Amino acid sequence: MLNARAILERHGFAKVLRAANGFLFTDLSLLPHATFADASINSCLSKPFISFIYSLIKVFFRLKLTLGTYCILSYLAPAFTMADDTAKPTSARLADSSYHSPYTRAGAPRPHPNTDPYAALRGRALSTLEAMGFDPNTMIEHGVLWAEHQDPFGHVMQGQYMSFLGACFWRVMESYDEFLSKKECDDMIQAKTVIPVVRRYELDIRRQVKYPDSLIAAYRQDRIEPTRNNGTTVLFSLKQQAIVAQVRGSTTYIDAKTGRPVDIRTLGGCFPALYEGFTKKSERANQLKEKWDKEHPKSSKTTQAKI
């Protein structure tokens, strides 16, 4: 008799539970959730077809037709990969730094070979940040590097915090194109008309960060004035599930020709829409923040910095 267990294991069906009385038994509940390693195959075969194959295999198992099961799966198995996030990683260290791998990104042809322990952590972090009023459109994630980002004591250096946060500042500026025309955005970036200049900021480092970890930089719109914009930007650690650094600051809108502050409501074009749009963003963000603060009151201990 053909060794169906070995065939299935060789082709990626490692969820074989037992073989009894010469007949194959396996965890059939996993088969409908199997995905094809080849994206083109995935797009061609529909869910009803997969369900049909699943039903046919179940019938074969009930009739104890091991050979028939082997024929079907040996034909389809080379294209299958079983997505299993709970599987033991082939390398624990690579799993710990899997946030660097392109296989954790959308569009990867198959799941990460060492599992992605950050997927669930990332989901909780994003849900928390959005509930706190931070803008999902301008968030950016930074994976910590062992050599470039740490000091000799194994902690992420202070200068890196501002580098990580600065990338989020830039994304906030890029988000202006939601209200401004392409030319107005280009002229702002090239310092031809109006530019947002950092007025002041205060960095609060709350926790130490060590490799491996990945940090999400997120911006919350606090308040916009005719000549200034105020916001809060944080770094959220996936491993610690907490804010590790925070910057509160403001920018001033400066006329590039005169070097003086300018009321953006008087500039014409789409700048009044920018002011109104960020006013509404401030209102929504503050409502979410108030709701979060009410539902998560801070104790006297948690209000103090960790460092």
Ranges under pLDDT 70 in the chain:
1-89, 300-307
Predicted local distance difference test score (pLDDT) of residue 142: 96
- Beta strand 35-36 with 140-143 is unpaired
Give me the count of residues in the chain: 307
* Average pLDDT of the residues of the chain: 80
pLDDT per residue as tens digits for the range 50-86 = 666 666 666 665 665 555 555 555 555 444 444 444 4
Q: Structurally, what CATH architecture does the domain formed by 118-295 represent?
A: Roll (3.10)
CA proximity to 12, closest of 32, 29, 35: 35
CA proximity to 8, closest of 46, 51, 45, 61: 61
Burial 69-87 (b: 16+ CB within 10 A, else e): bbeebeebbebbbbeeeee
User: What are the boundaries of each domain within the chain?
Assistant: 4-81, 118-295
CA proximity to 130, closest of 219, 246, 230, 249: 219
Spatial distance between the Cα atoms of 32 and 51, rounded to a whole number of angstroms: 6
Predicted local distance difference test score (pLDDT) of residue 244: 98
Predicted local distance difference test score (pLDDT) of residue 307: 58
pLDDT per residue as tens digits for the range 216-257 = 999 999 999 999 999 999 999 999 999 999 999 999 999 999
Which tokens hold the place of 66?
């091991």
